[in-house]
Structure 1
Amino acid sequence: MTWPVQRWLVSPTHTHRTELAQELGLSPLTVQILFDRGLYTAAAIQRFFDPHQEPLPPPFPDFADLPKALDILERAAKHQQNIAICGDYDADGMTSTSLLLRLLRGVGAKADYAIPSRMQEGYGINERIVQEFYEQGIDIIITVDNGIAAYAPIALARELGMTVIITDHHEPPPELPPAQAILNPRLIPVDSPYSSLAGVGVAYLLGLGLAQRLGYGESLTQPLLELCTLGTIADVAPLTEVNRRWVQQGLRLLTNSQLLGVRTLIQVAGLGATQELDPDHVGFQLGPRINAVGRIGDPQVVIELFTTEAETVAQQRAQDCEATNLLRRQLCTQIEQEAIAICENNVPNFPQEPVLVLVQAGWHHGVIGIVAARLVERYGVPVFLGTYEDDTHRQIRGSARSIPEFHVYEALHDSREFLARYGGHRAAGGFTLQAADFSQWRERLHAFGRQCLQPYHLRPLLEIHAQAQLGELTLELHGELQRLQPYGMANPAPQFWTPRVRVVAQQVIGKEKNHAKLTVMDETGQKKVLAWGWAHYLPLPKSVDMAYTLRPNEFQGQTSLDLQLLGVRYPIPQLEIKPPPALSVIPQCLPLENLEELLELLVNYTDKKLLLYGYERPEFPDSPHLNYDRPQGTYGGLILWTLPPAPIYLRWLVALARPQTLYIHAHRPPLPEPEQVHAWVQQALSQNGNTPWNLLALGQKHWVNPQVWVAGLRELGYDHPDWPDTQSVRAELAALETWYRNPLTELTQYLQP
């Protein structure tokens, strides 16, 4: 069984890495990873390693409304005005709500909160919530992780005499809501260190400022940083700039959390009371337990968990999170299995269409976004999943997840005529539409996908940061790379590849016999490789290109460095294009319009030999002076029934045959689709071994030029700095079509010295 066909995106090797590595006393591989993250100087690298070496710039110049917001909240705390927080039901929104609730109550303010119903109302503050706040006597509304697009609800709040502070990080609309103060990193300069804050980061900035304004110290603000860390990682915010700084501090605090609810959740998640936490613990164990409640439960559970000081309440709410997360996992597994069955058994043209769009009754729309992300990983295509709002099946609500080349929000905006509501960004989004419009809307998504996606985009993407030899992979290197922690969005864990490793041993392991353990070698060393879920892809070929991450292995008090498999592919080929010899004579070029003219030429041209070359060229058994295709000596005339696939073939033919005259019929061979080129390349890769590719022979075999083959390799994730520049396969085929139409008068230019 063949392994998953991935699209490898390999970062180029930086040529100046060795000099800087020597200056900093680091491995060139570590510097390669740092270069890949835009860190090109010793000073920039040192700041990245230790983001606390310089003080943070004040946020006031960027967040112009921050002083105004602090003035409002300071007065509210002193005069006991009623404050209400409107949050969101994801981890970012719930941690933001908990953070400000703890902060406001901690400084003596009167504060409460509300979160809209995911099932009945959807995302963001709405007019019902505003009306209820008014009836409850609320003076000040603070939105967290929402509000920037809620013009009508905010306008209503203003009409009713309430003061509104918006804290959000989503894309602002052209017309901002009429709030008294707006804090949103999307409204500040992109080069600001605060420009990538999550919603909880904005809430923390506001809370920190208020605590400092009112004279409160770390006993109040440190627990807030724990919540900021949980929300930032769970929301997959970029772990750079201020986020990186705060998350580094927050992870240290979380290990010995001051928050009863956080300590209890860590215990229930099985992480242990003293275990040092990293972003993976938050992202894959704590975050899902928080998010699950917002997706299919009651967000109040999480708010109570993070604000309570009662042991029994904390234990009960943590257990509620655990149970809800278990249900969420079951729902995700069920929906994912159903979606896969639909895709692989029932979807017409799957996987030919560039976008996967599925709607099914009974799916829980609180978790279909998670399933959509899993299907993106499985199939490498943008995925839109929906389910019906109720038993009438009149309205569909759904979520989308995407690949880098497909912008979800732009796709939704392009099809907005069919949508009742939509929102999102490049990678994800949500939508609501009438079921009667589904077929037309799906076709519009397919058309949008066909415009922006090439066939080679539609396979799982593997981003690789550096090429390494096995002998370079040491525990010392792993220790250096740990200084890049915390890993996360915009600062991913380093992923490596090694070309042409020899697989010297491979075995199936695991209780269910579904994993594999390999031993691989190259000229510099040998490594053990763990391959989770790869048992049914064995046996692997003896030689492969291998992608992997580093994996320390502790056994009987000894630590070694193993590898964890990410993917394999056939080895990158060596390409050869043999240049033609110099031309001794430039032939005269004459047209040959049709078969009748060719027959006449054969009858009259008997004093010298002729060579007939071309795609689907005819044969004439009664013409003994006529040879075909490959020159065998010299000829008086060379008949091109079709042009060869590129000028280099023309020069070869003329150099070997040395004709006095070129007769050109210019019949056009059929051109393949890009998918066919990819199939040819894949087949050649699987049969390659260590033999260099003769690109001229491969091109002649399929009547395409060498550039088409090189472009096909690049679109399958292969590349080499010595290869010739190419466009996309589609563009190279278009250029080839132009060549086959080349006028007779232009051909001689390709034969000039």
Structure 2
Amino acid sequence: MPDQRWNIFPSQAERAEQLAQTTSLSPLLTQVLLNRKIQTPEQIKVYLDPDSQDLPSPLEDFPDLPISLELLINAINQRQRIAICGDYDADGMTSTALLLRALRSLGARVDYAIPSRMSEGYGINERIVEDFHEEGVSLILTVDNGIMAHKPIARARELGLAVIITDHHDLPPILPDANAILNPKLIAETSPYRSMAGVGVAYVLALSLAQSFDQTRELRDVLLELFTLGTIADLAPLLGVNRRWVKRGLQLLPKSKLSGVQALIQVAGLSGEKNLKPEAIGFRLGPRINAVGRLADPQIVIELLITDDDGVALEQAMKCEQINKQRQQLCEQIEREAIEAYEQGSLDAKDDRVLLLVQPGWHHGVIGIVASRLVERYGVPVFIGTYEDEAQQHIRGSARSIPEFNVFEALEFCKDLMLKCGGHKAAGGFSFEASQLDAIRSRLRTFAHQSLKPEHLKPLVTVDTQANLNQIDLSFYAQIDALHPCGMENPDPVFWTPNVRISDQKMIGKGHLKLMVCQEDLAADEFAAGQKLQAIAWRWGEYYPLPKHLDIAYRVRTNEWNGDISVQLEIIGVRLPSQSANSGVEFSHSQRNYTCVILERDGIKELRIRNFKGEVLAIQKGQKTGTLGKTPQTTKEVDVSQPQFYHLIKAAMQVLGVGE
């Protein structure tokens, strides 16, 4: 079984019931909203309909937005050359495509460059600046990078180039000397724009520029689609304007006006989907974009997203598909090798409270994904690196984290030992000389011991509230659907149900578990079997078979098969049932499985034993007769002194540790 820690929000049953009566939502869902600090009917109304709330002008919240617009308007009107420096992840590539489309529509002379992941790494560099200068560029616009690029920005200013930085990463102590900086980290924490990814900053800039040229209507929907793709694929928090605009953008994507998006939807097998959820982008579209930036030339994605030619779009989308398959194979291979290297090595992640794993030959374009999988597996922050050169003198890597550990602060703690580093709370990138490996491992261990307690070192399952499986149906799912879009920092509701019986389980696909679950209460006066629901546990093949009785934590999904839609549970957590009155204890007797429990009603103790057929044998202390049956209608009296009952009862009493 997975070794997890559960964090269950405290129940606010009375308040949840009051809100349920006011809003006509299920009390389960009003409890979820209370957990999200949405506490009044008015706040719930805005949450369900984000467009109903007035939005402040970005000109009020971003101090450098007016100067940015002035620089761009002058460059466009004077036919000066503008160059975009993007990034090779989904956020950076969608941001680049978004600004290219917007600026070209507004008549700008604009081109772009993206640094090589393999040879240069993240962010604008002096080589790119020099190239832009030689090409006659007057204005550089960074997207999703630049906030740490002091030297390249200084070089650009020396050469007489104007620079606008648009970025969303955490701020260094001293900001680069750009003409203007647009970064949500520079604005008030209460601003609805605070949680934007790089593509959000690009969207705000492009839309504000379009308004200056009175071309908002022509551009808004196209830009909104790219914003939605990039925001979800970058795992940006779905709060504030992100949630408001993503909700709107998701309605546009199925009937996208962009040839590239339609082609991407086609190769991802999502054609015909009327309602795209964030998980469809996060797990189907986003990886196909990200894979290109990790393994190939980002130009493939840029051309995909800026072309209006359906043929070119399909050709580029097919390239994305092929590269993504290559990415999947590499991830599986490196994950296996990483697990083997750790488990056969001398490192102790639980003792160190952090894992720094370095091996030669790994493709650093995908090690960030593997780092995330190792975080899920071991429950500690993971830093994975590989050697950049044959001489093994330089190491480059990626980091992924758990909620209590700040990657950006950890990298800053090691900055004097690093060649380059950056990122945010949950993830980051770094490079250092191989000779510093032991020193950095020691420094990370020190930081981890300052940040983490031993109880933090298990994968965390955050649970909203307890539910009965009989409450889970399509009408309940429809209410959950009204809460979408959900995502980072605004997660899908997670419910838990105690003492669920796993009536069937099997392995499917590449290491997934498919289950049939039902809720049975051995202590109940009724003998109802309870509703059976299908469940899926992604990447849980190593835990097969699971115990027959478990507490389960899950999200509610739907499954469509041959035109029929049914509710399906997505299992994200399990634990052994607590030893409460109705949990029961499993045991075997005569090569058959049973569950037993002792109840006390009105001072009289009763033993109940359930067999694999669901029949319950009930015997009160001191009696020679009991009852046996599956339903009240089929229950009959039996003589428990008969050998088959006597020996079964004796075995149950031994398991429960009580005398006869």
TM-score normalised over the length of structure 2: 0.83
After superposition, the C-alpha distances for 1:461-505 in whole angstroms (9 at most, x for unaligned) are 21111111223223222111111111211121111111233x162
1:319 aligns with 2:318: yes
Report what 2:12 is aligned to: 14
Provide the aligned length of Structure 1 versus Structure 2: 577
What's the counterpart of residue 533 of structure 2? 528
Letter of the 2:141 counterpart? I
Q: 5+ unaligned residues in a row in structure 1: which ranges?
A: 576-687, 693-753
Q: 1:442 to 1:7 in 2, by over 3 A?
A: same
How far 1:535 sits from its partner (Å)? 6.4
Aligned-partner Cα distance in 2 for 1:553–1:405? 34
Counterpart position of 1:674: none
1:422 matched to which residue of 2?
Answer: 421
Q: Compared with structure 1, are the counterparts of its residues 148 and 555 closer, same or farther at alpha carbon in structure 2 (3 Å cutoff)?
A: closer
CA contact (8 A) 1:516 1:534 kept: no
Cα offsets for 1:98-130 (capped at 9, x unmatched) = 111111110111111111111111111111111
1:676-734 Cα shifts (integer Å, max 9, x gaps) = xxxxxxxxxxxx98689xxxxxxxxxxxxxxxxxxxxxxxxxxxxxxxxxxxxxxxxxx
CA gap 1:476/1:132 in 2 versus in 1, 3 angstroms = same
2:640 aligns to what?
none
User: Any conservation in 2 of the 1:266–1:273 contact (CA below 8 Å)?
Assistant: no
Superposed CA RMSD: 2.3
Give a deviation string over 1:344-369, Cα, whole Å, max 9, x none.
Answer: 22334465432222111100111111
How do 1:642-721 residues align onto structure 2 when only pairs under 5 Å count? none
Whichever residue aligns with residue 253 of structure 1, its letter is L
Greater Cα shift, 507-516 or 201-210 = 507-516
1:429-487 residue CA offsets vs partner (Å, 9 max, x unmatched): 11111111212221222233233323322222211111112232232221111111112
Equivalent position of 1:719 in the other structure: none
Amino acid at match of 1:353: D
Partner Cα separation in structure 1 for residue 413 and residue 394 of structure 2:
20
- Aligned counterpart for 2:513 among listed residues 512, 515, 530: 515
Superposed, 1:630-649 pairs within 5 Å as none
Aligned with 1:552: secondary structure?
A: strand
2:176 maps to what in 1?
A: 177
Distance 1:145 1:416 in 2: 21
Matches of 2:254 and 2:499 in 1, distance apart? 42
Task: Name the residue aligned to 1:569.
Answer: 575
Residue of structure 2 equivalent to 1:333 = 332
Give SS of 2:352's match: coil
* C-alpha distance in 2 between matches for 1:556 and 1:312: 31
Query: SS at the partner of 1:484?
Result: coil
Corresponding residue number in structure 2 for 1:295:
294
Shift of 1:333: 1.0
Amino acid at match of 1:262: V
In our comparison, the structure showing a higher alpha carbon Rg is 1
8 Å Cα contact 1:10/1:465 also seen in 2:
yes
Distance 1:512 1:140 in 2: 49
Measure, in 2, the Cα distance between the counterparts of 1:513 and 1:5: 18
State the identity as a percent: 53
Tell me whether 541-550 or 254-263 shows the greater mean CA deviation.
541-550
> 1:489 maps to which residue?
488
Match of 1:548 among 547, 554, 578: 554
Instruction: Determine the C-alpha separation between the residues in 1 that align with 2:86 and 2:596.
Output: 59
SS of 2:287's partner is helix
Are positions 1:234 and 2:269 aligned together?
A: no
Equivalent position SS for 2:384: strand
Contact 2:359 2:385 in 1 (8 A): yes
Secondary structure, aligned partner of 2:391: coil
Matching residue of 2:91: 92
Provide Cα deviations, 1:404-446, integer angstroms capped at 9, x if missing partner: 1222222222233322222122211111111112122212222
Contact 1:97 1:303 in 2 (8 A): yes
Label 1:262 to 1:458 Cα distance change in 2 as closer, same or farther (>3 A). same
1:94-113 alignment to 2 at 5 Å?
94-113=93-112
Deviations 1:633-688 (A, max 9, x none): xxxxxxxxxxxxxxxxxxxxxxxxxxxxxxxxxxxxxxxxxxxxxxxxxxxxxxx9
| Partner of residue 632, structure 2 | none
| Residue equivalent to 2:80 | 81
Name whichever of 339-348 and 22-31 sits farther off. 339-348
Aligned to 1:207: 206
- Alignment check: 8 A CA contact 1:69 1:181 kept: yes
| Structure 2 counterpart SS, 1:505 | strand
| 1:516–1:535 CA contact under 8 A, matched in 2 | no
Give, as a single letter, the amino acid of the residue that structure 2 aligns with 1:97.
Answer: T
Tell me the equivalent position of 1:280: 279
Deviations 1:173-226 (A, max 9, x none): 222222222111110001011111111111111111111110114222211111
Distance 1:156 1:81, change over 3 A: same
**Larger strand proportion, structure 1 or 2?**
2
Equivalent runs, 1:17-416 vs 2, <5 Å: 17-272=16-271, 275-349=274-348, 351-416=350-415
